[in-house]
Amino acid sequence: MTKYNINLLVSEADEKLKAVGIDAGKAEAEIILCDLLDVERLELYLNGPSLLDDNIVKSYYEIIEKRLTRYPLQYILGSAWFYGRKFLVDENVMVPCPETELLLESVLRTARLSKSSPVRLLDIGTGSGVVSASSKLENPELDVTASDISTEALKVAQSNARQFGVEENIKWIQSDLFDNIDPNSRFDIIASNPPYIADDTYDTLPPEVKADPTLSLLGGNKGMEIIERLLKQAPDFLNRPGTLIFEIGYDQAEIIFDLVDNNSSYSKCMLLKDLANIDRIVICKTA
């Protein structure tokens, strides 16, 4: 009979985490135990008790203590889940968000409908590589190029692609947006989750978000500086037809539609909402 009880360990941590403002304390405690025991959540309550030992419980308490400082769980564990896969993350890359899975799904749908062969995708601001690696894994026919201004982020993205066996199948380019992209290159899809938070709202962000690199978060005035450059330059690198797909902040849709309306390179623009019913993904077709 084991001396440890999973329910007790979880509820004890949940209470502590809730006290510092972490609402998903129970889920996080379960994620930590699953990570330490290397089991799926369904197995945790069934097989967990027989796998627990003093060292694992000690590590569990240490992780909870660190998490109580509101340091992101994903950086503590060194990993984050995206589209059913476990990606490595560190402080050089933003922790991938569930909303970005919508960006990936839009990329995959657009690729499926494309008549190009191969379909060429450029992922700008690849970060941990979640969009580029997942795209290649979900659709191995895609010709994927991933870029980021940060060489440190690119190293993380490459490690992730390597663990999934697709590093050599993706082209990697360090670039400030399109600066180092061959001007003769043409892509069918340009995807990006750019930094889109307004500089002057930084102080209002939760501690977990502030732990992300500022390069990943801040988009200048109204969070629009990178998006404006992206909208302006992307048509020079898109095939006709071609599609620019990017993630936006909750209050940016209107201003982006105005910019697209005034840009004759685009024929139409659509919006997708996330699960919280917030405008999240913009899809622009080249004229």
Ligand X SMILES: C[S@@+](CC[C@H](N)C(=O)[O-])C[C@H]1O[C@@H](n2cnc3c(N)ncnc32)[C@H](O)[C@@H]1O
Q: Which is nearer to ligand X, 12 or 99 (CB)?
A: 99
Please, which residue, 32 or 103, has the CB nearer to ligand X?
Answer: 103
CB of 282 to ligand X, least distance (A): 14
| Local structure of 142: helix, strand or coil | coil
In which element (H, E) is residue 170 found? strand 170-174
| Contact present, 42 and 31 (Cβ < 8 Å) | no
The residues of the shown chain that bind ligand X, judged by CB under 6 A, are 93-94, 96, 100, 124-128, 130-131, 148-150, 153, 176-177, 193-195, 215-216, 226
Shortest Cβ 243–ligand X spacing (Å):
17
CB of 245 to ligand X, least distance (A): 12
Nearest to 129 by CA among 91, 94, 99: 94
C-alpha to C-alpha distance for 217 and 204, rounded to whole angstroms: 13
Tokens standing for 122? Answer: 């450029």
Contacts of 165 (CB under 8 A, 6+ apart): none
Interior angle at CA 189, CA 188 and CA 190, nearest 5: 130
Rounded to a whole number of angstroms, the minimum distance from the CB of residue 18 to ligand X is 27
User: Are 48 and 5 within 8 A, CB to CB?
Assistant: no
- By beta-carbon proximity to ligand X, the closer residue of 68 and 215 is 215
CB 94, CB 125: distance < 8 Å: no
Whose Cβ is closer to ligand X: residue 211's or residue 215's? 215
The nearer residue to ligand X, 12 or 225, going by C-beta atoms, is: 225
CA distance 270 to 282: 6
* For ligand X, the closer CB: 58 or 273: 273
Min dist. Cβ of residue 159 to ligand X (A) = 14
Minimum Å gap between C-beta 153 and ligand X is 4
70 vs 52: CA distance, rounded Å: 26
What's the closest the beta carbon of residue 137 comes to ligand X, in angstroms? 15
Counting Cβ atoms within 10 Å, is residue 241 exposed (0-12), middle (13-18) or buried (19+)?
Answer: middle
Nearer to ligand X, 115 or 183 (CB): 183
- Residue in 54, 55, 64, 51 with CA at minimum distance from that of residue 16: 64
What pairs with residue 271 in β-bridges? 282
Instruction: Give how far the C-alpha of residue 278 lies from the chain's centroid of Cα atoms, to the nearest Å.
Output: 17
Q: How far is the CB of 221 from ligand X (least distance, A)?
A: 15
Residue closer to ligand X, measured from CB, 60 or 196: 196
